[in-house]
Structure 1
């Protein structure tokens, strides 16, 4: 039994407070698996009764089954990491690929999506920060938001990023894309931004608990299988693209009809 297969169908039914609990659980699976319900409840600032009610709402009979499935899921993930994805059949890999995209989109908090869209309605300058493969993705993101009429700044090298970070204002919005979420440069950037009137900081990271995720004003996490070919990363970034597109579409959906001419075919 996989944790995400159990909970995903029930995520849309969660209320705001339950979404906060769900976010905490997903980001801290490795920690929760060895803790009692009282310890987890205390860390979430809710009663054990409230947390148990949440556990049952997302599909488990009780806390024991909840932690058992988490341990099983993490064990399987660790085993999968040791195997080449191309050892499995092409059919299985396709199914995992599609499942990762589906899970990444399914767990998006609609209120977070709306909050970013509402912020975009004020026409902030958009700053994009990414490295490695994410830089290629950012070129597409810059194209999308520039087409929608935004001023988009994407500094691609470190010296330029140091200059640009001094230009960011409180009314702007910053997107940081990093799957690992542990890059020292991004941590330092976020610390700098929070030491002055802070812009809205939105990050896209992996689902595992990480520093960038925790320092962001809003985080969207994705599920994917990390792949390396000849020591070069070729991990799929489709889920990150999907989330950035959904952010833009959410904004366009709420925009004044006279502002954009949208055609759906």
Structure 2
């Protein structure tokens, strides 16, 4: 129901509506359109436009299809990630996605040092990314301490890569702001391009998969982030050898 193409076609307001619906899926299917508009802080027109982009004639049809979607994925249970990962991998072969990867590689190739940042599961991906790029000969480090002393010189080219599913992690945002003050260029890998981290980055790559949470943790699949860093690493090694 929420394919990469459909999510990517949403504008900023529609993305905020999408995020609200996914966070409140169990009650949205029982809401009236005006109730949803009030709760999500959007107009009924935005909701109807959102429904149309998802191939629904109106909000009633959307609720029916959305309930079927929830039932198929087990409601509050965890969804089978296979189809959305396959969908992501297909879209990652598209021209627009490849061009953005190439743009990131150009920036990383010019960097003296690549700084990776992330919190929680994204922190694990950041550590992996630093190790992966170090293995292909790039000077890469991982920082998880927001108070880590950064002795960066403006004369040197530093690039930071931030990983965050939500793009709203306060500690990660604090990291980025400190690095930007030091003149560091920021590249971010987030689940969507409408997040705070995406907006304050020089380059953002969004992968758009369904966000999943338990009562305590965000357990959204990290496969797209892993794929992106490995593709970047292999392109750097193959096409940008000194």
Aligning the two structures, in what range does the TM-score lie when normalised by the shorter sequence?
Answer: 0.5 to 0.7
Alignment partner of 1:146 is 2:134: yes
Alignment partner of 1:76 is 2:66: yes
CA contact (8 A) 2:111 2:159 kept: no
1:89-108 matched pairs, under 5 angstroms: 93-94=79-80, 97-108=81-92
Alignment partner of 1:125 is 2:113: yes
| Residues 220 and 158 of structure 1, relative CA distance in 2, 3 Å threshold | same
Report the structure, 1 or 2, having the larger helix content: 1
- Structure 2 Cα separation of the partners of residues 110 and 225 of structure 1: 22
CA contact (8 A) 1:203 1:220 kept: yes
Residue 240 of structure 2 corresponds to 255
- Please give the secondary structure, in 1, of the residue aligned with 2:110: coil
Residue 59 of structure 1 corresponds to none
With the length of structure 1 as denominator, give the TM-score of the two structures. Answer: 0.62
Residue 191 of structure 2 corresponds to 206
Residue 227 of structure 2 corresponds to 242
Q: Could you tell me which runs of 5 or more consecutive residues in structure 1 were left unpaired when the two chains were aligned.
A: 9-21, 40-61, 87-92, 260-265
Residue 217 of structure 1 corresponds to 202
- Please give the secondary structure, in 2, of the residue aligned with 1:209: coil
| Residues 68 and 31 of structure 1, relative CA distance in 2, 3 Å threshold | farther
- Please give the secondary structure, in 2, of the residue aligned with 1:159: coil
With the length of structure 2 as denominator, give the TM-score of the two structures. Answer: 0.67
After superposition, give the CA deviation of every residue in 1:79-129 in whole Å (9 maximum; x if it has no partner): 74992334xxxxxx44xx123223334444222111111222234301011
Alignment partner of 1:176 is 2:175: no
Alignment partner of 1:110 is 2:98: yes
Q: How far does residue 67 in structure 1 lie from its aligned partner after superposition? A: 6.6
Q: How far does residue 27 in structure 1 lie from its aligned partner after superposition? A: 5.2
Runs of at least 4 residues of structure 1 off by over 6 A? 32-37
Q: How far does residue 23 in structure 1 lie from its aligned partner after superposition? A: 5.4
Residue 16 of structure 1 corresponds to none
Aligned length: 206
